[in-house]
Amino acid sequence: MLKHNENSKKILISGVKPTGRVHIGNYFGAMRQFVDLQNKFESYIFIADYHAMTTVQNREELKQGIIDVALDYLAIGLDPKKVTLFKQSDIPQVAELGWIFNCITTMPYLMRAHAYKDAEAKNKEINVGLFDYPLLMASDILIQDADIVPVGQDQKQHVEYARDTAQKFNRIFGETFKMPEPFILPNVETVIGIDGRKMSKSYDNVIPLFATDEEIKKAVMKIPTDSKGVAESKNPEESTIFAIHKLLLEGDALKKLEAKYKNGGMGYKEAKELLIADLSAFIKPMREKRQMLAQDMDTVLDILRDGGKRVSMNAEKKMKEVREKVGVEIY
Ligand code: ADP
Ligand code: TRP
């Protein structure tokens, strides 16, 4: 196992909030990129359970959410030999550093955060945790001396908060934190849901990533189509069935399917059946792996525990330096 600073690979860190059942939009838009990146970087992927507490305040729900994220990521192919998978709350130093960051940050600066402004615009009740979210995230990143932070576009501002906070701390207390770079996931296109809008759990239009064959069939059958007959030529770019199907195909297979739409002779019923077959073939191995993992929870929990132990050594080392620099370390 590679240890901190023992290799020349850059350190990558990213957190995932445990917020319910994942769908193929999450997979193609975000999750699978971690699997690709695990070979290129020394990767730390963690379950952001304390961040989730800004919205989830239910013991069973939070516990289940944490376990689900671990199972999801292991099932899609995160390899615990390559990636350190852990949960945020196993590194209490993160919250400790968050407090120190609170003390060097002004309210107006945090008020500029998109997430806060959105919540305020919607007249939501905003807890202090939500307001402070960017600084806990800055701690996650900076405490591990991370070089790169792969995130979706929506999280870019949060990485900028981490950079600003590192700079501010370094200016006040001396050079301590490394400057992390955001890594906006490439080719992240928006996956369309079964109603043609963006796939999102809030629209109830998803195909769950670990769906059963029954669920796949039910979801695909709901996709609305126009009234073109079997013989008629169809424009694949206008079809939600095709928009989802093309995620699963490339090269010749994709060209062939495209031709089937354009040439006529394929009805929407057949197009849906083809999609169901390919979705089932794509999902089945991951679903089965997830089921196997779930039957061996001891191993899954050991992976998280070991991951936490490994990164908490880095975190404690960094915090010692921070405590000394701010002046609370007197022994
Ligand atoms: P949801 O909209 O279902 O609540 P989240 O907001 O929890 O999804 O998103 C989790 C991750 O998945 C984010 O990185 C987000 O960019 C990505 N994601 C969510 N929906 C899609 C989609 N339809 N297409 C591409 N990526 C998506
Ligand atoms: N804020 C991120 C999200 O909502 C999750 C997260 C927490 C994170 N801490 C992080 C991501 C550190 C990258 C690095 O998706």
CA 84 to CA 68: how far, in whole Å?
17
Q: What is the pLDDT of residue 186?
A: 65
Would strands 181-184 and 148-151 be described as parallel, antiparallel, or unpaired? Answer: parallel
Q: Which of 23, 75, 71 is nearest to 47 (CA)?
A: 71
CA 286 to chain centre: 17
pLDDT bin (cut points 50, 70, 90) of residue 304 is very high
Enumerate the β-bridge partners of residue 151. 184
- Centre of ligand 1 to C-alpha 281, Å, is 23
Residue 189 has pLDDT above 80, yes or no: no
In the chain, the domains with their CATH numbers are 11-190+296-326 (3.40.50.620), 210-290 (1.10.240.10)
CA 42 to CA 11: how far, in whole Å?
5
- Centre of ligand 2 to C-alpha 51, Å, is 8
CA 173 to CA 166: how far, in whole Å?
10
Q: What is the pLDDT of residue 185?
A: 72
Residue 3 has pLDDT above 50, yes or no: no
Q: Is the dihedral of CA 318, 183, 62, 298 positive or negative?
A: negative
Q: Which two tokens stand for residue 218?
A: 């039910």
Model confidence over 79-132: pLDDT tens digits?
A: 999 999 999 999 999 999 999 999 999 999 999 999 999 999 999 999 999 999
- Sorted by sequence, the CB contacts under 8 Å of residue 226 that are 6+ apart come out as 238
- Sorted by sequence, the CB contacts under 8 Å of residue 118 that are 6+ apart come out as none
CA 98 to CA 135: how far, in whole Å?
6
CA distances from residue 46 to 41, 84, 300 in whole angstroms, order as listed: 15, 8, 14
CA 19 to CA 241: how far, in whole Å?
27
Q: Is 202 in the pocket of ligand 1 (CB under 6 A)?
A: yes
CA distances from residue 94 to 57, 67, 298, 327 in whole angstroms, order as listed: 20, 21, 26, 18
Residues 134-161 have a mean pLDDT of 94
Which of 14, 87, 139, 185 for a ligand 2 pocket mutation test, highest count of atoms within 8 Å of Cβ? Answer: 14
Model confidence over 46-55: pLDDT tens digits?
A: 999 999 999 9
Q: What is the pLDDT of residue 154?
A: 81
CA 227 to CA 267: how far, in whole Å?
10
Which of 22, 26, 191 for a ligand 1 pocket mutation test, highest count of atoms within 8 Å of Cβ? Answer: 26
Which of 21, 200, 203, 209 for a ligand 1 pocket mutation test, highest count of atoms within 8 Å of Cβ? Answer: 200
Q: Is the pTM of this model over 0.85?
A: yes
154-157: long-range contacts at Cβ-Cβ below 8 A with a sequence spacing of 24 or more? Answer: 154/114, 155/182, 156/182, 156/184, 157/113, 157/114
Residue nearest to atom 26 of ligand 1 (CA): 29
Rg of the chain (C-alpha set): 22
When comparing pLDDT for 72 and 1, which is higher?
72
Q: Which two tokens stand for residue 143?
A: 């405490």
Atom of ligand 1 nearest to the CA of 153: 16
CA distances from residue 39 to 26, 74, 170 in whole angstroms, order as listed: 21, 15, 31
Binding pocket residue ranges, ligand 2, CB within 6 Å: 13-15, 17, 48, 51, 137, 140-141, 149, 151, 155, 158
Q: Which two tokens stand for residue 12?
A: 């990558």
- Centre of ligand 2 to C-alpha 56, Å, is 15
Q: Is 52 in the pocket of ligand 1 (CB under 6 A)?
A: no
- Centre of ligand 2 to C-alpha 275, Å, is 33
